[in-house]
A = this chain, B = another copy of it.
Amino acid sequence: MVKITDVARHAGVSPSTVSYALSGKRPISEETRQRVEAAIRELGYRPHAGARALASSRSNVLALVVPLRAGIHVPVVMQFAVSVVTTARRYDHDVLLLTQEEGEDGLRRVADTALVDALIVMDVQLHDPRLPLLRSLERPSVMIGFPAEADGLTCIDLDFKAAGEACVEHLARLGHRVVALVGSPPEVYVRQTAFAQRVVQGFTAAADRGGLSSSVHPCEATPAGARLVAEQLLREQPALTGVVVHNEPVLEPLIDAFEQLGLRVPGDLSVTAICPDELAESVRVPVTSVPLPSAEVGERAVQLLMKKLGGSAVPEATLLPPRMTERASTAPRDA
């Protein structure tokens, strides 16, 4: 193994000079830097991560806790993860993967052993048990999602409440008076997953404000679940003309089910969704949607963490505004 002393000898300088040339923490003359860089290249030098972590008390590794529970859409999780890793690399950091299963112990472990410098936590619940832990940790963290009480913590997410509102307002603008939200599976609400709750809040608030009649329907993430909800809606809400879907796997099956029950989209029923653009576009009837900008959220989460690691203050809450794309699934009522 080639080490920093080898590089130093080869370049005719001291090890500390090599270190400073690498980190830029002290000025090094152009000429010396060149020699050092040449030596590094010729010898194929790679600083030892452990030694570096020990001496600098920085591991340049971030922890990412991914959810693996029922009811969350896996591709979205993966998009987050990839975006986090990619962004972290831009800041010369790596990403350690933790599963929800490891729970609080896992967080504490990687933080206390100095395996990681900072943490990103996904799938936050309104009253998440990890909140006090994150507050007590001596390392910065960012949560993707908003708990009920976020004092002293840093959170970022799509503004799901505004997204719910945007969907309803879009439907209201088109003249719809009776709307329904087809949401996540029941267990997601039972767990009080923050983002699901906020969609409901926004949906309901906007409907009330606009004087619309509204109802909320959890839905199993299967085609069968979709059919069930479609039938139920038809039965219980015959005047229904607008639907908001916040449940990725169910979007296409639900539209199929409506059509099989004789409701044309958007002729009889306008449908909007909160889901990735790819999904919205790939459905037979492209769906007017508010995408969850996972790539942006992941990137911004890492950037927040980097700022915190750099000692800067960051806003406690970052809510990304929803951006709706109109597609073929919504139309004016009585059009």
Chain A interface (Cβ < 8 Å from any Cβ of B): 44, 46-54, 57, 59, 61, 64, 68, 74-75, 77-78, 81-82, 85-86, 89, 94-99, 101-102, 106, 109-110, 112-115, 222-224, 252, 256, 282-284
Residues of B near A49 (CB, < 8 A) are 50, 53, 59, 113-115
Name the residue on B nearest A82 (C-beta).
B68
CA separation between A224 and B57, bound complex, in Å?
53
28 A–B pairs (Cβ distance < 8 Å), ordered by A: A44-B112, A46-B113, A47-B113, A48-B54, A49-B113, A49-B114, A50-B50, A50-B51, A50-B53, A50-B59, A50-B114, A51-B54, A53-B53, A53-B54, A54-B54, A74-B74, A74-B78, A75-B75, A81-B97, A82-B99, A85-B97, A85-B99, A86-B99, A89-B106, A94-B97, A96-B96, A222-B282, A223-B283
CA separation between A61 and B50, bound complex, in Å?
11
Name the residue on B nearest A88 (C-beta).
B97
Name the residue on B nearest A225 (C-beta).
B282
Residues of B near A284 (CB, < 8 A) are 223-224
A112 B61 Cβ-Cβ under 8 A: no
Residues of B near A54 (CB, < 8 A) are 48, 50-51, 53-54
User: Nearest Cβ in chain B — how far from A49, in angstroms?
Assistant: 4
A94 B75 Cβ-Cβ under 8 A: no
Known: A50-B53, A75-B75, A97-B81. A102 touches B89 (CB 8 A): yes
**B81, B96, B114: which contacts A61 (Cβ < 8 A)?**
B96
Chain A's interface: helix, strand, loop or mixed, by majority?
A: helix
CA separation between A68 and B252, bound complex, in Å?
24
B78 A94 Cβ-Cβ under 8 A: no
CA separation between A252 and B106, bound complex, in Å?
38
User: Nearest Cβ in chain B — how far from A111, in angstroms?
Assistant: 9
Residues of B near A50 (CB, < 8 A) are 49-54, 57, 59, 114
User: Nearest Cβ in chain B — how far from A233, in angstroms?
Assistant: 20
**B68, B94, B98, B113: which contacts A48 (Cβ < 8 A)?**
B113
CA separation between A315 and B10, bound complex, in Å?
42
Known: A47-B113, A50-B53, A114-B50. A98 touches B78 (CB 8 A): no
CA separation between A139 and B53, bound complex, in Å?
20
A101 B113 Cβ-Cβ under 8 A: no
Residues of B near A51 (CB, < 8 A) are 50, 54
Name the residue on B nearest A54 (C-beta).
B50
Name the residue on B nearest A81 (C-beta).
B97
Residues of B near A252 (CB, < 8 A) are 223
B89 A78 Cβ-Cβ under 8 A: no
Residues of B near A110 (CB, < 8 A) are 94
Name the residue on B nearest A64 (C-beta).
B97
Residues of B near A78 (CB, < 8 A) are 68, 74, 77-78
Most chain B CB inside 10 Å of its own CB: which residue of A106, A110, A114: A114
Name the residue on B nearest A89 (C-beta).
B102
A97 B99 Cβ-Cβ under 8 A: no
Residues of B near A223 (CB, < 8 A) are 252, 282-284
Residues of B near A53 (CB, < 8 A) are 49-50, 53-54
A86 B101 Cβ-Cβ under 8 A: yes
